[in-house]
Amino acid sequence: MPDSHAPVIEEAVVLRHAGFEAVVSPRIGGSIARLTRDTAAGPVDLLRPAGAEALAGDAANDLGCFPLVPFSNRVAGGRFQFRGRTVTLPLNRPGCPHAIHGHAWEKPWAVEGRSAGSLRLTYRHAAGDWPWSYRATQILTLGDDGLTVDLELVNEGDGEGDGAMPAGIGLHPYFPKPPGTVLTAGVRSVWLTDAGMLPTTRACPPPEWDFPAGRVMDACVIDNGFAGWDGRAVIDWPDGRGRLTLEAEGPFGHLVVYAPRGGDFVCVEPVTHMTDAVNRPHEADAGVRVLEPGERLTGRVRFRHEWPA
């Protein structure tokens, strides 16, 4: 007999409002597969679109945007210590010697509520290799100028012993990068990295990464975290797609920019902490939040789209 209390996991949910359409896959990491806006010439993709093959698969990083819970980016070797406890995480990406992007992007999310233009998703994690139970919630809402994503992470520990949990949240969107795409973002410093893509040295952004001044992304090859982000990033497309502005509310003081050599996309990732933050307690702005049982971490990211002037 089916369990009437089992979470509802759906293949794809389509949201529509004011000419915007979002296709969301609860099954594949609670990810956004497509975000489009209607134009006289047809739909315009505002995120890298996922095709039928990607939607039939199980890899969130083949879709347009996925959530980062309960940490962003890499944890060195999958190991860290927290309040006297050694935590060893599985290495969850082939070829990567680190744990990466948390859990939620690899797990299905349950649909808790929906309307024509809004969707509420939840993911519950039981303590295991990550020795804390938590609940994550996403609320995706289409508005008159784009999409808003509300994120929440709650420590669901029972409070016995030291149930405090290190925590972080973020989003990993993939944006189209046609020739001439310009990225502008208010950041103060960049973390240079070693061969394993772990941060080594904080520096002023070099001229080719001077995103506060705006930089054309054509020849930019980057996979780095930036600190001191002011919560705003702008992507200007030269091909009639207009401008997309990311606006973050909450503790999103860090931004990861990823543009691989030869890629046709750029990732601009609002996150609450630096890469490998759980192993960097000496950094004043590492960004790790500590949640006691019952406490929550929340944030909001808006994707606002404007037509060319």
Measured CA distances, 244 to 36, 59, 119, 265 (Å): 12, 25, 22, 14
| Residue 5 in domain | no
| Residue 3 in domain | no
Examine the pLDDT at 40 and tell me if it is beyond 50. Answer: yes
Q: Are 74 and 276 in contact (CB under 8 A)?
A: yes
Q: Write out pLDDT tens, residues 137-167.
A: 999 999 999 999 999 999 998 866 669 999 9
Q: Write out pLDDT tens, residues 260-301.
A: 999 999 999 999 999 999 999 899 899 999 999 999 999 999
Q: What is the pLDDT of residue 4?
A: 52
Averaged pLDDT for residues 62-75: 98
| Residue 89 in domain | yes
Examine the pLDDT at 73 and tell me if it is beyond 90. Answer: yes
| Residue 166 in domain | yes
| Residue 4 in domain | no
Q: Cα separation of 100 and 199, whole Å?
A: 14
Residue 37: which CATH number? 2.70.98.10
Query: Taking the complete model, does pTM exceed 0.85, yes or no?
Result: yes
Examine the pLDDT at 8 and tell me if it is beyond 90. Answer: no
Q: Which domain holds residue 151?
A: 13-306
Q: Cα separation of 219 and 223, whole Å?
A: 13
| Residue 8 in domain | no
Measured CA distances, 270 to 18, 66, 180 (Å): 25, 12, 23
Instruction: Look at the chain and report how many structural domains it folds into.
Output: 1
Strand partners, 147: 142, 303
Q: What is the pLDDT of residue 1?
A: 42
Phi and psi, residue 307, nearest 5°: -75, 155
| Residue 124 in domain | yes
- 9 pLDDT band, cuts 50/70/90, is confident
Strand partners, 124: 135
Q: Write out pLDDT tens, residues 74-133.
A: 999 999 999 999 999 999 999 899 999 999 999 999 999 999 999 999 999 999 999 999
| Residue 6 in domain | no
Amino acid at the residue 98: H
